[in-house]
Amino acid sequence: MSRKMLIDGEQCHQAEAEEHYDFDLFVIGAGSGGVRASRFSASHGAKVGICELPFDPISSEVVGGIGGTCVIRGCVPKKILVYGASFGPELQDARNFGWDLNEKVDFDWKKLLQKKTDEIVRLNGIYKRLLTNSGVKMYEGEGKIVGPHEVEVTQLDGTKICYSAKHILIATGSRAVIPDIPGKVSACSSLYIAVEFASIWNGMGAKVDLCFRRELPLRGFDDEMRAVVARNLEARGINMHPRTNLTELIKTENGIKVITDHGEELLADAVLFATGRAPNSKRLNLNAVGVEVDKHGAVKVNEYSQTTVPSIWAIGDVTNRMNLTPVALMEGSYFANTVFGDEPTKPDYNFVPYAVFCIPPLSVVGQSEEEAVEKGNGDILVYTSSFNPMKNTISGRQEKTVMKLVVDGDTQKVLGASMCGPDAPEIMQGIAVALKCGATKKQFDSTVGIHPSAAEEFVTMRSVTRRIEAGCKLKTNL
């Protein structure tokens, strides 16, 4: 066997012949992408091994868990918290629908956290069973690459074992970037996580201040929709601080004193820095085996997810292409098709829908208005609809739903769609199918809507809100 126990720093020995490989595929990282790639590769007949750090709800360099960031400490627990936070405003709205509620409604934060933890423990078990039922061999420990066909796994007791594989897949994801705050520094952000957690804490009754460096939150999204989100956050009671950096944090008896670059002083019980994530590649020994990374630590890959070492591949956030869980799933599936399914397949990043789970949520697919104008050669037509949802007309909540379609003036092809309002992600998933199929505005117009629903607005927008002529450039510094 080519598997070898490492004693006193003894190095792994690369397999001399293909038939001596322990595995056809060894995967480092059992998050969404790694699990999908493992299962699908096994379904093609490959012998697959996978390693992952031991389970813990809070990750570090030595703990993680099968299921990865999304399942254990990312998308899934966040959505649970969003559901929990949504009940606060919903209870307020319920009074005008005839529900008599006491003035004071108690909220048990610890109970919600325990329910959240119970659910991710359950999902962790489900992911383990998925791997077992697929015939994938699991190893608990930290993996690193020590040769083109060799992975070293450090087990919980410190013992190191080496496994050989014809192919190695890196699926280690990314980690939160922690700003350096010795005394003076850094800026708070308002990308996905900051905006979502501002909504979560606000919905649970906390006073929230949201600081961000631009005029509007959610840099990179459609500017018009960013403005809608900002209005909604502010209307729900979140204190917005645009064009603001944090310069100093001071711990006091009453909490944390936050000093901004405008000279403001804010007092908080907690400060959240949502300043992004970085590829989780530092401990993989990549330089030693010739796998190239960029200046951010992202593993360089070709269109088929192959690294600069032909036998080593990488998918998901560690490649820093499009950092979304469903994209990692796509990349994992296509990797399995390419390497073991005799069907070379390139991931397709066009018309990938995504959502920001603020309250109410924002969801988009395709190009923003700014992107369409920048990339297009002809006129761009923009259709918008802003309305008070039926539920709000009864509850009295002053919060409009906004929908938007961006259309190519020459071909009438719908290039992008956006929505901010209740159920936006559920609606946008269906819109994404239409855009993926190349739907035109005429086809949207000829589709019969579901009434009464918010979604029907996407097929009843008849009048052009504005036309941006070819060659016109939108100027924005928002």
List, as residue ranges, the binding site for FAD: 79, 143, 172-174, 317
* Pairing label, strands 265-268, 255-260: antiparallel
Distances in Å between the alpha carbon of 181 and those of 161, 212, 251?
A: 39, 17, 12
- Known binding-site positions: 79, 143, 172-174, 276, 317
Active-site residue identified among 44, 167, 241, 451: 451
- Count of H helices and E strands in the chain? 12, 21
Three-state SS for 328?
helix
| Greatest Cα-to-Cα distance within the chain, rounded to the nearest angstrom | 76
What is the Cα–Cα distance from 411 to 379, expressed in whole angstroms? 10
Q: Catalytic: 451?
A: yes
Token output for 135: 């015939």
CB atoms within 10 A of CB 49: 22
Residue (of 471, 452, 308) closest to 391 by Cα position: 452
What is the Cα–Cα distance from 167 to 339, expressed in whole angstroms? 9
Q: What is the DSSP letter of 311?
A: T
Q: Are 190 and 238 in contact (CB under 8 A)?
A: no
Distances in Å between the alpha carbon of 451 and those of 360, 417, 456, 461?
A: 21, 20, 7, 15
Measure the N-to-C terminal CA separation of the chain; round to a whole number of Å.
60
- Known binding-site positions for NAD(+): 276
Q: Which residues are catalytic?
A: 451
